[in-house]
Amino acid sequence: VVIRAQSGELLYRISPWARYVVRDEDKVNYDWVHWNPPQSYIHKHPSPKRLKSLRIYESHVGIASPEGKVASYKNFTYNVLPRIKDLGYNCVQLMAIMEHAYYASFGYQVTSFFAASSRYGTPDDLKEMIDVAHSMGITVLLDVVHSHASKNSEDGLNKFDGTDSCFFHSGHKGNHQLWDSRLFDYANWEVLRFLLSNLRMWIEDYRFDGFRFDGVTSMLYHHHGIGTGFSGDYNEYFGLHVDEDALCYLMMANHMIKFLHPECITIAEDVSGMPALCRPVAEGGGGFDYRLAMAIPDKWIQIIKELKDEDWNMGNIVHTLTNRRYEEKYIAYAESHDQALVGDKTLAFRLMDAEMYTNMSVLSPLTPVIDRGIQLHKMIRLITHALGGESYLNFMGNEFGHPEWLDFPRKGNNESYHYARRQFNLTEDHLLRYRFLNAFDRDMNKLEEQFGWLASPPGFVSEKHESNKVIAFERAGLIFIFNFHPYQSYVDYRVVWHSSLTVLSKYKILLDSDAAEYGGHERLDHNTEYFSEEYPHNYRPNSLMV
């Protein structure tokens, strides 16, 4: 597109609505390509019915292969989707799909909002990938970035008409000081049309089943959450510092999506805890279905980093996992892509660090560091899954404790792809301990699929014992018992049975992190039957011994 600016200068731009943009090897900028195949892809499978609860596999197409290269939509379709299905996840959340000129931005510096990234393949390859996911009963969500845009002007939206406004606020208000990106003017009629059309296009052309809105905290406040803490005081959420234009855009986007496509799901990435963000627009809420429980991963990092095992506070863990706004749905996660990135550490790497390079083979002795790391990795995931929310999320590779960190090719690492990949092959090697973590993650998801605790009311916590380091709770008719003590085991341990059933019941072990197939020590006999009895304990009439 050639635009004559007010100054008379001719500007060469890519259409903001371009559906396909590519970059030649020898060029710096992307070029707009007219994508019009003789036979465009026809979807064969209907979208899955709306799920009661989500088990989300957060994914990035480009790193979804053990090879040091940009992986393709085709690779994801035929090699990764079957793996996600086998692991028991019913939803995949795709990052870095909207075209971004800088690969190392992880997809968060978007240049072409209507274009699916060409570095992984063609638009039809993406349509096929989503269609195949639907055939497996997997819901597909797009990580949508409407909170800011790349500063690129030749192949982005910035300075589209030669001014610093157009799509954005002009001057200081239109720049995000931490992200070095442009901020949309949500009061502008054409900007609203652009963004709302963008959402419709991803749903109606590509058949995405919903969105995870990125950077919602930055949108909600004029301070963008920079240098601001949130304690939960209502003055932090209501006042002149709230960007009402952005809040109204989010409400309008959710209203439009639900009006046109009631089966679609929307998720807010908000760290502030804005009240009613996940209540219907008709109630004056934000209209989202779910919000990310962002305090949970921070809590696990803080505990592992700062506390000795004997100093872990059970009450504090339970509080963080259960501290949610009433009647708003949360997506719990122990870690996401944020923790995997270079400069941070995954839970597995925090727990086992350098020993992951030398002692993850079953042929090497099970050292105390590896033993502790493997057991806590499983327990942290299960308690987060079972107590932390109404849905669960995991970033690809973290389910089996993927070693090292994630780093995209850039000048600082000599454009290396060594860390921009996921070594799924590690779980297939029977001599490595990664398969134990992989198996536990799969069985944990399959158990939830069977009993549906995520769609059940919040768990009833019957015990958080500080000296015993035991947490016990009930949810969906299951009793969960966690022993976080670093060296103490218990026999004849009495736990409350608070079921709505009036008859006394018989219990059996369904999932045991100490089982041999999960790299445990087999200290429990799975043939044992446990009977509840009319024996008062912890102010409840019935209990059982385990």
Report how far apart the first and last C-alpha atoms of the chain are (Å, whole number).
72
Q: Are 247 and 190 in contact (CB under 8 A)?
A: no
- Which among 58, 214, 243, 441 is annotated as catalytic? 214
Q: 224-245: string of b/e by CB count within 10 Å (b at 16+)?
A: bbeeeebeeeeebbeeeebbeb
Point out which residues pair with 149 in neighbouring strands: 182
Is residue 67 part of the annotated active site? The answer reads no
Strand extents, DSSP E, 97-158: 98-99, 112-116, 139-144
Q: Provide the CA 207 distance to its chain's centre, in angstroms.
A: 20
Q: Are 98 and 112 in contact (CB under 8 A)?
A: yes
Is residue 214 part of the annotated active site? The answer reads yes
- Which among 128, 269, 270, 390 is annotated as catalytic? 269
Q: Are 234 and 256 in contact (CB under 8 A)?
A: no
Q: Which amino acid is at 308?
A: K
Strand extents, DSSP E, 404-493: 460-465, 470-475, 478-483
Phi, psi (deg, nearest 5) at residue 221: -125, 145
| Listed residue (170, 159, 213, 205) closest to 5, CA to CA | 159
- Measured N-to-C along each axis, helices 368-387 and 434-451 cross at an angle, to the nearest 10 degrees, of 20
Which two tokens mark 453? Answer: 């605790």
Measure the CA–CA gap between 385 and 542, rounded to whole angstroms: 26
Q: Provide the CA 436 distance to its chain's centre, in angstroms.
A: 22
* DSSP string over 173-219: GGEETTTTEE-B-TT-HHHHHHHHHHHHHHHHTT---EEEETTHHHH
Q: Which residues contact 321 (CB under 8 A, 6 or more apart)?
A: 296, 332, 383, 384, 387, 388
DSSP single-letter state for residue 336: -
Which two tokens mark 521? Answer: 């020590």
Q: Which amino acid is at 274?
A: M
Extract long-range pairs of 445-452: CB within 8 Å, 24+ residues apart. 445/55, 445/87, 445/88, 445/89, 446/88, 447/510, 447/511, 448/53, 448/55, 448/88, 448/385, 448/386, 448/392, 449/55, 449/88, 449/90, 451/476, 451/477, 451/478, 452/52, 452/53, 452/476
Just list the catalytic residues.
214, 269
